[in-house]
Structure 1
Amino acid sequence: MIDFLLPGSIGYLVIKGLHIIAVIFWMAGMLYLPRLFVYHHQSVAGGELEGALLIQERNLLKIIVNPAMIAVWLLAVTMIMANPTLFSQGWFHFKLLLVLLMSGIHGFYAASAKKFAKGERPRTEKFWRIMNEGPAILVIFIVLLAVVKPF
């Protein structure tokens, strides 16, 4: 392994810092997108607000959420390659499972945004209010697992 990426080296710590920054951007979008879906449900079909929300939803996904998730995964793979002992730690398996679940929610949000763009109104306003809490709860557990490393 290149010394630059050895765990504890400045290179590894920079990768880890960039990973955390990407997670922050990803979560900002994951928390905001379902809120936009709530507003979308409240808007008049074909109205000015709906048009503005469609642009916001598309831009949020394409400019922030999708690139941030890709960065999270690429940086995580880099850290795992530099520190394969992570796979021997139980907390990491559970964290990885939760991140996979978060990625699945991301995919669900992206698919829902496409439905909104087609003029559909998938699910209900109440559903999106509840879904807004999912990523927040997941990220709490993900961060606590990464910091506390309980098992």
Structure 2
Amino acid sequence: MRMADHFEETTMGTFLADYYLWTKSLHVISVLAWMAGLFYLPRLFVYHAEVVKAGTETDALFQTMERRLLRAIMNPAMIATWIFGLLLVFTPGIVDWSMLWPWTKAACVLAMTGFHMWLAARRRDFAAGANRHKGRTYRMMNELPTLLMLVIVFSAVAKWNYWGF
């Protein structure tokens, strides 16, 4: 008996299958919240780097907005995205790991998580008054989540099995 067959017969496998649509819905909601933060925080950094002088009231305001966005929205949304995503992965019959698309999606989600961590490090730099990047860097980096999102969506929805579509 394959391990996957055994998992499908377990209570957990049955539970995940029964609640698949709920899990998928919560995953999509979490992703939307996470993506909103991944789009917005770099934009805050652009203005923070280009316009705001360190040590001013505006600097403190930007630091507060950046911290709250990261801690209250982005971090919980990323964690929820991972939790619901992993639950979907373990739902019997949903992911065929012999295909290319889940590996592509997984690599992009890891890259997105790495970008999230990079943003968190840049927020700490701003908080310490040690930002070393120009607004242009944050503008360019702001495109990364869009590119990753496109690959993730096409991978998960179209279920690519090869690069030629």
Interval of TM-score (by shorter of Structure 1 and Structure 2): over 0.9
Q: Tell me, in whole angstroms, the C-alpha distance in 2 between the residues paired with 1:116 and 1:69.
A: 22
Residue 72 of structure 2 corresponds to residue 98 of structure 1: no
* Structure 1 gap segments, 5+ residues each: none
The verdict on how the C-alpha distance between 1:85 and 1:25 changes in structure 2, with shifts beyond 3 A counting, is: closer
Question: Structure 2: which 5+ residue stretches go unaligned?
Answer: 1-9
Residue of structure 2 in register with 1:147 after alignment: 157
CA RMSD of superposed structures (Å) = 1.3
What is the aligned partner in structure 2 of residue 26 from structure 1?
34
Q: Show the counterpart of 1:15.
A: 23
Tell me what 1:117 maps to: 127
- Normalized per residue, which structure has more helix? 1
The residue type paired with residue 14 of structure 1 is W
* Deviation for aligned residue 1:78: 1.1
Measured after TM superposition, the shift of residue 31 of structure 1 is: 0.4
- Give the equivalent residue in structure 1 for 2:60: 51
Alpha-carbon distance in structure 1 between the residues aligned to 2:68 and 2:108: 26
TM-score, normalised to structure 2, is 0.85
SS in 1 for 2:44: helix
Whole-Å Cα distance in 1 between the matches of residues 130 and 48 of structure 2? 10
Q: Is the 8 A contact 2:67 2:123 kept in 1?
A: yes
Post-superposition CA distance 1:106-127 (Å, at most 9, x none): 1100011011100112311110
